[in-house]
Amino acid sequence: MSIKVRYIYSACVLIETIDLKILCDPWVSEGAYDGSWYHYPPMKNPLETIGPADFIYISHIHPDHYDPRFLKVYLGKYPSAKVLIAPFSNNILSKKMDRNGIAHEIESNISIGKTNIWVVPNERVWHDVDSAIIVQHDGHSVVNMNDNIYNEGQIKKIKNVVPKIDIALLA
């Protein structure tokens, strides 16, 4: 196995290499956006369906990506998982996680074994919302840019890190 991507739900995917597992954007709690967004069909036993991960990557603050209720339950069952977010200059997400009591790490690059992870913010003048994660292992790469608005600077950074992308997760 080089890199495996497993679709879980909505924007939630599990990216796995021989070295680690990264859970991306686990929105599981029903009623996001003031009770207007629900999953169909509902996920039964999300903790067992997802299983343990080494990292949880939260791309941005929107409630269909950042689900503090589920994160608290997940981290209660799998406390060794580390929550990763992008290194934004203002970092609205970090401030919100602090208020919600969600421990997190602001990272731009992590290497474990033969796996490299980069978190690339999609910085714009008026706000810092979206980010992308790049996972590279053994010459293969996955880029998750879910919800990112086109930003030439971010694209250039990603291309500098991985000129060849095997799997791009875009929505």
User: What is the per-residue pLDDT for 125?
Assistant: 60
Q: Could you tell me the two tokens for 43?
A: 């996920």
User: What is the per-residue pLDDT for 110?
Assistant: 96
* pTM as predicted: 0.95
Residue pointed to by tokens 């879980």: 8
Q: Residue 19's closest CA among 63, 55, 67, 60?
A: 55
Q: What is the pLDDT of residues 57-98, one digit of tens each?
A: 999 999 999 999 999 999 999 999 999 999 988 899 999 999
User: What is the per-residue pLDDT for 68?
Assistant: 97
Q: Which residues of the chain have pLDDT under 50?
A: none
Q: Residue 141's closest CA among 115, 109, 165?
A: 165
User: What is the per-residue pLDDT for 63?
Assistant: 92
